[in-house]
Chain A
């Protein structure tokens, strides 16, 4: 069973004049949320419309309705779940698009249609390998054990036990509890999922190391056909360097001015964030002019997707980046702890993070200019915040499985569970107990 978190994104063109009708439908669906049981394996769904936008001052990018979900496990199974839970709603909204077939699609055809329309996205998860089912069970486990230990401490003898003895007592309590005993074992598929996620970056590194070794070896030996491997590493760097040089040329192009969103419109968007713990934001913007930006961004997003196992963005549950309209539009969506105004700060407040994210956002209209990709100009932070604001859109329909737990809560609950049945030193047990 795969525990890898993934993002599914698909979008259809619609006439801009139909946007109000689609938005009304999405608002209605938002008020009538599907039950969690019907969306097994799904963490989040954002469903919204985006109006036409202008690329490079001349090309009009079409209005779209965009559906984005975050899930764990198998893509096809997830699509089937979506079709079963939201089939009629999806059909009604899609019917506004000329890309949707005239005849009504049955569930199987609908699932095929969605898969066909889905696009690549670079996806990030802040609580890796946690399944939808284990969010609640791990939270209940921690809470139950906390109360149990709290009760035991009323007996002075319990508090004077060694850390190992206390851990054993906890493990016995978990084992004898029918709803928690299965949590004594590591989640099924976690090791396989980790290996799977590491496979791509691992292969890439191995390929590069092999290339380096072959290149070095070819100085002394004839490598025969293997000699071509020696060119992979230099070719890769050469290609990246070339792209960077071409990008530098694009960086000199002046971007057309953007319409800065009014305070009233922005207030309307952020006022929708009514959740006390988890909220969502969507930023959709055309790219800045320059044909190599599109290529550079596409390559960057694939590299980001490859190293996502190692990525860390604090307070973010999930995030994704993707290109639409032949790479001319960037979609960014994130679900995070607390409010978007604070969350957006997390990026610019840290020098390191703002540099990393410049690799993606520097290509997008409204975002500050950079040179050599990550070299920031003056007023970077102010312009960045202006960019986020100006291209933030209202999400008509937003579903979230978890409304109560922060990223740190989720990680903590998982770490507590994984500590069960693990051998630890007394000092580590003390730290583990602090997770309760």
Chain B
């Protein structure tokens, strides 16, 4: 296997993915030209038309990039807040069982409340611009951080806790030398999930809160209203690339850091 040249190995591993893409593009063309009549082709414009009239036209592309930059900011700020809040809440909950019993149900409830129901309230409290978008983002991405961190903090064995007890460890030593280090892999696992959710949160927040600069979610709405389907496809594509990129960053970070942490690269 290793004797094959690198380009051949890359082709073999990327082959199925490229093949699937080619098939999808083929299907797309087929539907555009064979299924849809001329007057309905706007519903699924062929790929080359999307690329020519939207992706390669700076007049169309520039507003999308601006909107995307704004959404990235919302997602990053939202994720940072979610991580800080989530880890903090888990650390507080792990201190005593009654704090966990008191706080955990509300964390679950926060996750299950439909964002749509909170929209009017958030609007009144935080306005209809950037802040509210960030809040939506935080609400959506908070729970995995809480639950994963808590799981990680609770992962040390009873014997490990006994070891700390026997050496008269303080609560603080137990937290920073045992529980938090043990939680690192779980925290990064949570970060991966939350990163993906924060992208969704940023786009959802965009569509609800439209004051000020428009984000990528807002643009999707505008393009739909104006039937600019070429632009709609490009915007969807950009939003997806954003999501994948965000996820990849944290997945890679997870692999590198957690791998180092235990002295070997996992998987």
Do A and B originate from a single complex? no
Taking beta carbons and an 8 Å cutoff, which residues of A are in contact with B? Answer: none
- By a beta-carbon cutoff of 8 Å, the part of chain B in contact with chain A is none
